[in-house]
Every structure is written in C-alpha cells, then in structure tokens.
Structure 1
Amino acid sequence: MAAAAPAQTLPEFAEVRASARASVGVLLARDGTPLADRRVDEHTARLEWVALSSFSPALREALLAAEDKRFFEHSGVDWRAFVGALWHNLWYDHKRGASTLTMQVAGLLDPALALGRNGLPRRSIGQKWDQALAARTLEAHWTKEQILEAYLNLAPFRGDLQGVHAAARVLFGKTPAELGRPESLILAVLLRGPNASPEVVARRACVLAQSIQAPAACAPAQKLAQTQLARTSLMPRWELAPHAARFLVLHPGERVRSTLDAEAQRLVLNALRRLGTPDAAAVVLDNPSGEVLAYVGAPEPRLPDALLGARALPVLLQPFAYAQALDKRQLTAVSLLEDSLANRAPTLPDDRSWVSVRRALAEALPDPALA
C-alpha cells in the first residue's frame, strides 16, 4: 500500500512537459521570426522545454558521472549506494546522500519528497524511503529518457535559474546543444551546490574532470567558475522590437505572432539609431490594410517608449504636411527649406539657416513644415 500513494501524486511525463512554461513570452514577426522576448514571471527564470536529443553529449556525460553513474542500470533506486549512505550517516557527522536522478525528479515533482533543499532540514529515513518508493513508481510509468529529460529541464541552478536551458543561456550565453565539456562540468557540480563559491565550484569541477578522464577540461572550467558565476540575470535573447513586446506579450510562455515585418523593423531601427537622437521613434503602417509593419519606440531597448508620450497636434501633423508636398511633387527629399533662427545666433543681419526636407522631417523641425 505504501507504493500506491506516490502513483497517485506523480503526474505523467506529457503533463509535466506541458505545464513547464517558460518565464518569458516571445513576440514573433508575421513570418514567425522572433523579434523580442520579455520576462513575465519574476519568480523563476526558466526558458522553453528542451528535448533530450538537444542536450550536448558532454553535458549528459558530466551529469551522469556527477549524479548517478548507474542511472541506466537501476530501477529508480541504487540500493548499493542507498545502503552505503545509510550506514555512513549512522556513524559520521558528515552526511552523504544517495539520491538517484529518478529520486531527484520525484522530489522535483512532489514538494513533500524534496525536503532538505535550500536550507530545509534533511530528509528523515522515512521520508527518504517514501522518495525511493516514488522513484520506483516513476520508473514504472516513465522511460529512462523521459526521466533524464525532465531532470535537465527542471533542476534548480544558481539563483532563480531553473533548467539547463536557462542556466546555459545566463552563465555561458549558449544553448544546451552548444555546451562543451568545461561548461558541462560547471553545470554538473552546481546541481549539488547551486550557491557554492567560485573556488568550491572550480575545485569540484576539476575533481569531476578527473573522474571522466578529461583532465584537460580542468583549467577552462576553473576560468569559467571565476568569471561567469556572477551572471544570474536572464537577459533578452532578441531585442528587435522590445517596446512592442511590452504591451503585446503579457503571459509567460506565450508566443505572440504580430503583423510586424522583421526586415522593416530592422531598417527603421537602424535608421533611428543613425540619427543619434534618444527620443526618436517611428511607426510604419501598410496603407491598404492598416497593419503595423514596424514599431520602434526608441533607438535602444532600455529607453522609454517615445511613441506613448503626449505630443502637440502640430508636431503630429508635420509628417502629413511633408507627405502631401512630396506627393504633389512640390518638394523632393533634398529640397532646401528655411529654418527659424529663433534658437540660433546669426553671424550676419540677414543670415539664414537652410535644411533639407529629409533632415527637417527626420528631426521634426516645426518651422519648415509651417512654411
């Protein structure tokens, strides 16, 4: 009867995968090109679920060596390690765990089985036994590959990072498929000590490198431990349309397809950056349909959205005045217009300032438009 309870509480693999939503939402162009991602869930830093086949072989090698050498041999519990840990813990103050990957996944799925994490009291023998029973049940319902995939996507890392996808992105700027042996060593040792100091992480990574007969990876891993572990913020992966994403992407895990055209968005953004004006902004509409093809609220992502600010009516009408003159061929982009000297100091009594239509329109100069 003891083994029946975990069977009722542990969900199916498909259910776990479907419920593990990313903490970010993604804004897509009309053709599906990612334009921006925005973090919506501030409690956990998690990216999209990654299939087991998309994790690098180096990572899987390091993980199994560090956490569960006999993962593909046992049925959820490594009884040899389990009994050895119990005997060790009876006689020594320094406690030793014997949790298999399957047992750890059971703990990730059921908080009642995860005691001992994040400073909580260690599991009692009874709780450890319950976790072992849950692991056996999990192995009866899930394949080994599903258990390993779930662990790589759910395991906690430094800070609020959850899953290898987010940890690899934040710490190394890589995808799970791009992880080499040094990065994999760091991630593997962080699983047992997510908040360990860089020195401890470096030392453990080198010990792990020796155990997998890869001593050459020790020095690069040490360097990564000293330089990369301070990085804990999940930064955007795409920033082509961050201002549009702020009011279109509202829920974690969602992928919002917009009417924005990726190439038009890029062209407008680059044009505004060349102006060198921090409050420059632009919207491009498709005349027949009225769809927004480009929305650039500011030249840089961290600047406020200038398109949302209040503007005087004359300023809003300026582009239409220029457009009408251009359509009637009264002006061209290089036609010169007289600009006001109100804010300038003329060098001669009849000194005048002349600007092209292109510049007057780009800088929203009011006097040429009125003329």
Structure 2
Amino acid sequence: MIDPPPNDNEAKPAKVKREAASSAGGYKQRWQRILARSTIGAGVLFLAVHALGLTFAVMPIQGTLNMMMRPDGTKLRHDWVPLEQISPHLVRAVIAAEDSRFCEHGGIDFDALEEAIEDNQAGGRLRGGSTLTQQTAKNVFLWNGGGYARKAAEAWLALYIDSIWTKRRTMEVYLNIAEWGDGIFGAEAAAQLRFGKSAADLSREDAALLAAVLPSPNKWRVNPPGAYVRGRANTLTQRAQVVENEGLDRCVLK
C-alpha cells in the first residue's frame, strides 16, 4: 500500500508554530542580552561616579556636566580657588539663603523636606527642601531639571558625599562650581566679573547679592540688581548675621 503524499495544509501549522517559537526565543534572548548589558553598564557607571566622589574629596573640579551643557557660543568663566580665598561673608550668606541647617544634617535635611511637602500640599508657595549638599551633588555629577530618577540619584549622592567629604569641603566645592549666570561658574569668576574684585574681598553686601540670585542666576541680575534682588539681599544680610551670631557656620568657618 502506497502512503499518500504529505498534506501541505497539515504541515503548515506545525511549521508556523516552530517559527513562532524560534522567533519568541530569539526575542527573549535579545532582551536578556540588553538587560545584561544595561546592568553591567549601570554597575560600571555606579562605580565610576563613586570613584570620582573619592577623587573630588581632595582634587579641584575643573569641569562639570552643567558647564558642558551650556548653550553653544556661551563663554565659560571658571576659576577654582581654595576656600581660604573666598570671603566668609559669602559662606554665611549662602548658608542663610540656601541651607541654615547645613552643619546639622547628614546631606539631606528631612525636617526641611517635610516642611516643604506640608507647605506645598497646603497650597502655599511651591518650594523645595534641597540642601547645599544635594545641590553640590547635582552640580558635580548630574544635570539641571526635574525627574524622579535625577532626584533619587541626587539624594543618594548627597548622602554619599556627606559621608566621605567634610562639610568644609562640600562648601568649597559648592562655591567653586555654582553658576552665577552668563556662563560664570564659581565665586572667584562671579566676584571678578560682577564686582571687579576677588572672592576674598567680597563685602557683606556683595555676598548677599550673589547669594540672592542663586535660585535663578540666569533670570535675576546682580549688576544692576532689580528691586526684588535688592530686597532679598537686604534680608540675607540680616540672616547672615544670625548665622554668624548663632554659629550656624561652625562646620565651615573655624
């Protein structure tokens, strides 16, 4: 008895199933490779950033991602100087403006963060609870802008650098890489270009003006200051005196 020839219509479903299974397997393998590479890449990046943190504990920082991301054609000015060559008036003004509990927290001020959340939920003026340490971490390792991923990285890095840097070093780094508008980074460049003097020679009034514009350095001007900046600077001059009187700068200025 002769077997009937194979029925192509019956063979096709099995062939389709084999091809589908092969395709699914290949798709799964591709995603496994992508996941593995992403995990390795994230691990390498994690180690590199933490190694940089150790290096930056002692070495001057000559460039950051924020500096590189300035618009084309922007002339960058950045002159690193040690903290000894920056006026203590600026240290106190910045603490008064940005983080009055700088010497007390461990990188994140959870009390200030809770207060900010409560104020925002109550419908008051939106404000953040970002510390000087968090701002330093952002300015050194990350980029401007929002997003939960960047905020989470900022918080982790703030805790990290607070554990390996001194408060004095954190302040030194912050004052040397903070932006004061127009591609001006650091207290020395800001003092030279805004007041025609070195950062060491900044007066109380000069320091208060520089601290007053830090939240929006490309929007608010130091020279000449508008009514809002002038008023804020006057307030910061008084607050900086409180910082000095109550020793809120003790971890930086000995």
TM-score calculated relative to the size of structure 2 = 0.65
Q: What is the aligned counterpart of 2:128 among 69, 81, 97?
A: 97
1:119 matched residue in structure 2: none
Q: Give the conservation status (yes or no) of the 8 Å contact 2:94–2:211.
A: yes
> In angstroms, what is the RMSD of aligned CA positions?
2.7
Larger radius of gyration: 1
Quick one: which amino acid aligns to residue 151 of structure 1? Y
SS at match of 1:69: coil
The alignment's TM-score, normalised by the length of structure 1, stands at 0.45
Deviation (angstroms), 1:209:
2.0
Q: Which aligned pairs between 1:143-182 and structure 2 lie closer than 5 A?
A: 143-182=166-205
- Which of the numbers 231, 234, 240 marks the counterpart of 1:203? 231
Equivalent residue, structure 2, for 1:20:
62
Q: Structure 2 vs 1, CA of residues 13 and 65 (structure 1 numbering), >3 Å: closer, same or farther?
A: farther
Q: Does 1:87 pair with 2:127?
A: no
CA distance in 2, matches of 1:146, 1:13: 12
Q: Post-superposition shift, 1:76? A: 0.2
Does the 8 Å CA contact 1:45/1:166 hold for their aligned counterparts? no
Q: Is 1:9 matched with 2:49?
A: yes
Deviations 1:308-335 (A, max 9, x none): xxxxxxxxxxxxxxxxxxxxxxxxxxxx
Change (3 A) 1:68 1:13: farther
8 Å Cα contact 1:165-1:175 kept in structure 2:
yes
- Greater displacement, 164-173 / 187-196: 187-196
Q: Which of structures 1 and 2 has the larger relative contact order (alpha carbons within 8 angstroms, sep 6+)?
A: 2
**Which protein is richer in strand relative to its size?**
1
* Aligned twin of 1:266: none
Could you tell me whether the CA contact under 8 Å between 1:44 and 1:162 is conserved in 2?
Answer: no
Question: Which blocks of at least 5 consecutive residues in structure 2 are unaligned?
Answer: 1-43, 64-71, 243-254
**Structure 1 segment 103-114 matched on structure 2, within 5 A:** 103-112=134-143, 114=144
Pairing 1:50–2:74 present:
no
Cα distance between partner residues in 2 of 1:127 and 1:93: 25
Displacement of 1:141 in angstroms is: 1.9
Name stretches of at least 5 consecutive residues in structure 1 with no aligned partner. Answer: 22-40, 116-121, 215-371
Instruction: Please state which structure has a larger fraction of its residues in helix.
Output: 2
- Once the two structures are superposed, residues 111-133 of structure 1 have per-residue CA deviations (whole angstroms, 9 ceiling, x without a partner) of 25x32xxxxxx444x64343222
| Paired AA for residue 220 in structure 2 | A
Give the secondary structure class of the aligned counterpart of 1:193: coil
Taking the aligned partners of 2:121 and 2:46, their CA distance within structure 1 comes to 27
When residues 13 and 56 of structure 1 are mapped into structure 2, their CA distance, relative to the original with a 3 A threshold, is farther
User: Does structure 2 conserve the Cα–Cα contact (< 8 Å) formed by 1:161 and 1:167?
Assistant: yes
Q: Please give the secondary structure, in 2, of the residue aligned with 1:12.
A: helix
- For 2:122 and 2:152, how far apart are their aligned partners in 1? 19
Distance apart, 1:143 and its partner CA: 1.5
In structure 2, C-alpha distance between the alignment counterparts of 1:99 and 1:199, rounded to whole Å: 26
Say if 2:99 and 2:132, in contact at 8 Å, map to a contact too.
yes
**Partners in 1 of 2:54 and 2:74 — Cα distance?**
23
CA contact (8 A) 2:95 2:240 kept: no
Aligned partners of 2:117 and 2:151: how far apart in 1?
10
Structure 1 pair 169–102 and aligned structure 2 pair: CA distance change class (3 A): same
Instruction: Give the whole-Å Cα distance in 2 for the aligned partners of 1:82 and 1:144.
Output: 20
Per-residue deviation, 1:104: 0.3
1:52: how far off? 0.8
Aligned residues: 185
1:249-279 per-residue CA deviation (whole Å, 9 max, x = no partner) reads xxxxxxxxxxxxxxxxxxxxxxxxxxxxxxx
In the TM superposition, what whole-angstrom CA distance separates every residue of 1:74-119 from its partner, at most 9, and x where no partner exists?
110111001111222233263111111110011112225x32xxxx
Structure 1: how far apart are the matches of 2:160 and 2:201? 33
